Amino acid sequence: MAELERYRDVFTACFGKACRLADVWVLRMNTGETQRKIIHVDCDCFYAAVEMRDDPTLRDVPLAVGGAQGRGVVTTCNYRARAFGVRSAMPGSEARRLCPGLVTVPADFPRYRAASQQVMAILRELTDLVEPLSLDEAFLDVSEVTDHKGSATLMARYLRERVKKEVGITISAGVAPNKFLAKIASDWQKPDGLFVITPEQVPDFVQALPVEKLSGVGQVTAGKLHALGIKTCGDIQALGAEVLIEKFGKQGYRLYEMAHGRDERPVVVSRIAKSVSVERTFSRDLPDKTACQSVMPDLLDDLNRRLSRKAQKKPIHKLFVKVRYSDFSTHTLERVRESVAEPALADYQPLLDELITREDRPVRLLGLGVRFRNDEAPVTQLRLFD
């Protein structure tokens, strides 16, 4: 405790007032708060993976997305292209010089967004505490999830299997006590890998970790650290917090914390899952309403399985049915059904009857879903008179 108080004094001397981060550190050490379980998932060469999924002829060739013409740059590339030295943000001309057989395709962001939505939906079935960083990566806080025996490792394995099966691409996952280490772990055995850093392994893991692996350390900061003789997190630990704060200000404290494997940043939830749905696009259009009714049981079973996998059970507010006809026109009908705990065929049949008015119209896609009640939304009593 005396050491913690000493570092609070250091912050006061450097910044003129006691630093809140130091107070958080003291509080954490005093309260002994429950160890968090964080998963970081990262889709492997995401855009290229979607292209290879949709066009099998691209799977065995060096592939780049973007950079085909003029001064264009490579958006991403597959691992065959990376073996030649091709990298993201590289000019297309340089990429083709390094890899004469490089195949380039234009970016198709609507397809990538659709694949991303599938991946994120799978993540949110496990927990609502999901923080997307981009289309192809996200943090999950699974500290309170009891599924899969409460094991974050088993959860990560389960997510990887589901994404591979349902989306048709691979993801790498890292499991650790915090965001900083989980992100490093997800990159440790790429592609299609899973790496776990347990709380007990943290001290040994960070000891030899290069400073370049630290979040926020680019070429400039790395150069300054190297000039001080610092190449690893172990070197940072030996240098001490006072010197780091003197040289780097507030960033010095963060470097010192990361070098010890500590990161208090929470998983920031930008949106809570408001619905769960399943849908199926048929290789041959369903000829009529009767054919739609025949596939409803399978869709409903799939929907209820997804609902049962939700770690946080929420009350159902609405049911909805979605239909896309052979001419690609899409229609959705939803109705309030707050008394439903587990949807049954009898709950969806009235919606299907109301939605499909022409019984002989071919159907290309059929979907079922639920929307959850938001108990946290403010309730406003409307006034009868002004």
Q: Which residues are catalytic?
A: 137
d(CA 51, CA 57): 10
CB-CB neighbours of 51 under 10 Å? 24
d(CA 103, CA 195): 31
- The answer to whether the beta carbons of residues 62 and 103 sit under 8 Å apart is yes
Strand partners, 333: 321
- The answer to whether the beta carbons of residues 306 and 125 sit under 8 Å apart is yes
In the structure encoding, which two tokens stand for residue 35, read together?
């160890």
E-assigned strand segments in the chain: 38-43, 63-65, 76-77, 103-105, 130-134, 137-141, 171-176, 194-196, 275-286, 316-325, 330-336, 363-372
- For residue 216, the 8-state DSSP code is T
CB-CB neighbours of 177 under 10 Å? 22
Question: What residue numbers does the annotated binding site for Mg(2+) cover?
Answer: 42, 136
Question: What residue numbers does the annotated binding site cover?
Answer: 42, 136
SS3 at position 293: helix
Strand partners, 331: 323
Cis link prior to 191 (omega < 30° from 0)?
Answer: yes
d(CA 332, CA 351): 9
